[in-house]
Amino acid sequence: MVIDTSASVSDAELGTALLEVAAIVRAVGGRRDLVSVLSCDAAAWVAQPLCRAEGMTLVGGGGTDLRAGIAKALQASPRPDVIVVLTDGQTPWPQERPASRVVVGLFSRTKRSYESDPDYVPDTPPSWARVVNIG
C-alpha cells in the first residue's frame, strides 16, 4: 500500500487511510505479513511491514509525486500482485501501466480554495488504474 502523506492530505484523510489498511488486512484473512505500507509525499519512505495499523508511523508533509511510491512498491520481493494507492489524487501518475495491478483509493473531499480557480484542472488517475472513492 502507498499512502499519500503530502501536505494536501488532511489528518482526517490519513485516519481514513489507516482504516482502509485495517480493512485490507481483514480482506486478506488477517495476514499482516501480506501487507506493507509506504508513506509517500514527493519521495517514498521506508516500507513498513504491518504489525498494527494503530502503531503505524506515516512520514511526509511535502510535495506530491506518488510515482516514487509506486516505483518503490514494485521493488519489493516478491513483487506485489496489487498496489493500493490512497490519495487525494493531486499527483503525477506513471505514464505506463506498472507491472502490478493498481487500485487507487481517492479520498472524497470538499473543494480546496485553489480548486475553485477556473484554470485549475485536477489530476485524474490513469485509465489503467481501478479507482475507488473512499471516505
CB under 8 Å to 12, separation ≥6 — which residues? none
Residue 118 grid cell: 477556473
In the chain, the number of structural domains is 1
Cell 477556473, residue? 118
What value does the mean pLDDT take over residues 108-131? 71
Residue 112 grid cell: 480546496
Q: Is the pLDDT score of 28 beyond 90? A: no
CA 102 to mean position of chain CA atoms: 10
Compute the chain's Rg from CA coordinates: 14
- Range(s) of the domain holding residue 94: 2-134
Q: Is the pLDDT score of 47 beyond 60? A: yes
Measured between alpha carbons, how far is 93 from 38 in angstroms, rounded to an integer? Answer: 16
Q: How far is CA 124 from CA 30, 38, 93, in A?
A: 32, 21, 9
What value does the mean pLDDT take over residues 93-106? 94
* 69 contacts 32 by C-beta, under 8 angstroms: no
Predicted model pTM: 0.84
Residue type, 120: Y
Measured between alpha carbons, how far is 64 from 92 in angstroms, rounded to an integer? Answer: 8
What value does the mean pLDDT take over residues 54-82? 84
